[in-house]
Amino acid sequence: MTEELAAAPVRRDRRAERRAATVREILDAAWRLADERGLTGWPLKDVADAVGMRTPSLYVYFASKNDLYDAMFADGYRRLLERAEATPRNGTPREVLHRAAHVFVDFCAEDPARFQLLFLRTLPGFEPSEQSYALALEPLTLIAEILAAAGGGDAATLDLYTALLTGLASQQISNDPGGDRWRRLIDTAVDRILPPS
Amino acid sequence: MTEELAAAPVRRDRRAERRAATVREILDAAWRLADERGLTGWPLKDVADAVGMRTPSLYVYFASKNDLYDAMFADGYRRLLERAEATPRNGTPREVLHRAAHVFVDFCAEDPARFQLLFLRTLPGFEPSEQSYALALEPLTLIAEILAAAGGGDAATLDLYTALLTGLASQQISNDPGGDRWRRLIDTAVDRILPPS
DNA sequence: GTCTATAAATGGATAGAC
DNA sequence: GTCTATCCATTTATAGAC
């Protein structure tokens, strides 16, 4: 990593920085609307209003509404990866697995619209781009590692595990939003789903 | 049940029969469109076309599109109940539980749009009516009985069980449509989720 | 109960000036 | 990069004749 030590100043691209900041503003506004009215329950005009623009100006940053959804998809998985990487790995493998399961289910349950976009295939006509889809695979690798360390290294247990956690999240969101009726079952569920030793 | 033995002929209401048949036609057309284009991916005009009507005529049978969704919601749960009641109850309690789990997951996976309407709360602005919601509770009662007979009579195991099955269905639909990557895990999953005896 | 006609609003997207 | 102006298509829903 010689860059960190190099004396040569990095030439900042102020134009690119400004553009990235605007893109972030638009994404935040879109997430907020999705949270309030559902993933599809808002027109682009409301995004524009939220960031103080007119609708056509949004097209400078996103080619279409689907393109905005694609950016949200990528953004969501980046956030999940961050959250996963920030999760402490100390303690027994079983403890780490429990911790990771809570992190995941909480991540899903705290934003139903994001859960829908990232894990359910429910948006009519939307397919993530190749680049965005590639991002979606990274958190899965992390989960597989943690699960394997706790004795669930086989493919079937991994699939069982993802089904279980998305199922807990989905039930929590659909049938007890804001509560913990399914979240409180996470540890029990994880323990039962591991292969008998 | 004296009605069944009574000689008095039942006075048929031909008008009501015809109306019910038309309602059924409309529902079938709507399900077909939902299957092809997603739960929300079609306008009422296409339903009308499919049944050989003009759009305004649909309003004779349904007060609004939401009202049509509500009828689909009720129809879906009625179908699920039928399917559940038609499932043989012979064999050991564990065998019956496995069988019921397959019936449920297959029911979900065979029609993603229906799964979305019945089990995910993903349709912006839609809430089932009280009557329709009441129907949704009946299959759950059946499931609870079968699960209890197999040793999962506690509330936590029932919640775990519904999360597990909807999770398997959801993963199957989202990540391996038409395949059996998650469906083939049903028996293992059910065995592991039962409380240790 | 079905139709024509139309309201009334929505909402994604583009053209072109500044 | 942002704007005004506008297009154009869609879509739910209603009024009222037959």
- What is the pLDDT averaged over residues A46-55? 98
Of A4-8, A59-63, A161-165, B140-144, the poorest mean pLDDT is in A4-8
pLDDT at residue B10, rounded to an integer: 87
pLDDT at residue A3, rounded to an integer: 62
Which residues in A lie closer than 8 A to residue B112 (C-beta atoms)? 121
Domains A11-63 and A65-197 agree in fold: no
- What is the pLDDT averaged over residues A127-135? 97
pLDDT at residue A1, rounded to an integer: 53
Which nucleotide lies at the shortest CA–C1' distance from A53?
D2
pLDDT for residue B118 is more than 80: yes
Question: Protein B60 CA to nucleic acid D15 C1', in Å?
Answer: 14
pLDDT for residue A157 is more than 70: yes
Question: In CATH, which of 3.40.640.10, 3.20.20.70, 1.10.10.60, 3.50.50.60 is domain A11-63?
Answer: 1.10.10.60
For B8, residues 6+ apart whose C-beta sits below 8 A from its C-beta are: none
Task: Show me where the domains of chain A are located.
Answer: 11-63, 65-197
Which nucleotide lies at the shortest CA–C1' distance from B52?
C2
pLDDT at residue B177, rounded to an integer: 96
Percent of chain A with pLDDT over 70: 97
> SS3 for A165-188, per residue?
HHHHHHHHHHHCCCCCCCHHHHHH
**pLDDT (tens digit, 9 = 90+) per residue, A67-102?**
999 999 999 999 999 999 999 999 999 999 999 999
Q: Which fold has domain A65-197?
A: Tetracycline Repressor; domain 2 (1.10.357)
Contact between A193 and A186 (Cβ < 8 Å): no
Closest CA to A115 of A4, A183, A31: A31
Does strand C come within 7 Å of the CB of B14?
no
A134–B contact, CB cutoff 8 A = no
Chain B window 57-116: which residues touch A at a Cβ cutoff of 8 Å? 112, 116
Strand, helix or coil for residue A133: helix
A39–B contact, CB cutoff 8 A = yes
pLDDT at residue A10, rounded to an integer: 87
pLDDT grade for A7, boundaries at 50, 70 and 90: confident
pLDDT at residue A4, rounded to an integer: 66
A173–B contact, CB cutoff 8 A = yes
Of A122-126, A178-182, B30-34, the poorest mean pLDDT is in A122-126
For B16, residues 6+ apart whose C-beta sits below 8 A from its C-beta are: none
